[in-house]
Chains A and B, each alone.
Chain A
């Protein structure tokens, strides 16, 4: 199966690979994986006081499509508010990368990773608010 040029580009030059401090209150961490393919994907966001994602990092162990999907996801969510970022759909990622039908699940995983990172961030914020009151 041939990968699209865009997948190869992200695979060879992944954007935003790395780690943010998961103990930072402003950092949300999403860790997802699909046992059917044995992939693991970690996506982290750092959110400023205006609710804007000012940094995003990922680390994915998996196939080229999974790496490209998460790399693209971090590119897209940077600069967006968390509400905007949670609107990103896997179909948009799959279309941008020209993923073949058998690799659509990689884009689903990336969407799940964004949502999971946002959830984690919101939980932390709620916990912090609670501890203040």
Chain B
């Protein structure tokens, strides 16, 4: 994954001002719009088209919280690899929540309590990311980065649980 923050020329932070980011994306996109390159050489037209694609990809990634986390961790030198394994304690928690969601769904019960619980867990983990990435230093100090990595791993599961709970409503 290319660093979407770099592509859009933005500071690497977890919290973003989506309107400002979108404005930046539109300004940069306009500069490489195909219409501007209609009378240019094929090579220049191709480069402009590639940049348009890169900007679209970067904007798509950066507006999504999980992709933003993955991009930040990768840029800080601590990416979540495909071969990474989750801690048993996390897996037990996720398994328990998953089974609770299944039970609630099968019994036609409300998932409100679960939504609240997952929301609170997400807020906890996001706080670690803000600590690590919304200060002045990038990359953050080692122990902060470690905590951000662990939070990123947990969020990978928790965001998915939230999506599934949303889909039930």
Determine the distance from Cα of A32 to Cα of B87 in the docked complex, in whole angstroms: 8
How far does the alpha carbon of A89 sit from the alpha carbon of B99 in the complex, in Å? 29
In the complex, A108→B81 CA distance in Å? 14
- Interface status of A31 (Cβ within 8 A of chain B): yes
What number of B residues sit within 8 Å (CB to CB) of A? 21
A32-B85, A33-B85, A35-B86 as given contacts; A40 in contact with B95, CB under 8 Å? yes
Interface residues of A in 31-89 (CB under 8 A from B): 31-38, 40, 42, 59, 61
Interface of B is mostly: helix
Q: Is B42 an interface residue (CB 8 A)?
A: no
- Among B86, B98, B159, chain A packs the most CB atoms within 10 A around the CB of B86
A70 to chain B, nearest CB (A): 13
Q: Does B156 contact A (CB under 8 A)?
A: yes
Q: Which B residues touch A36, using CB under 8 A?
A: 80-84, 156
Q: Are B85 and A34 in contact (CB under 8 A)?
A: yes
Q: Does A112 contact B (CB under 8 A)?
A: yes
The answer to whether A40 and B94 have CB atoms under 8 Å apart is: yes
Asked if B86 and A33 make an inter-chain contact with CB atoms under 8 angstroms apart, the answer reads yes
Mask, B93-114, CB within 8 Å of A = 1, is 0110011000000000000000
Query: Does chain B have a CB within 8 A of A15?
Result: no
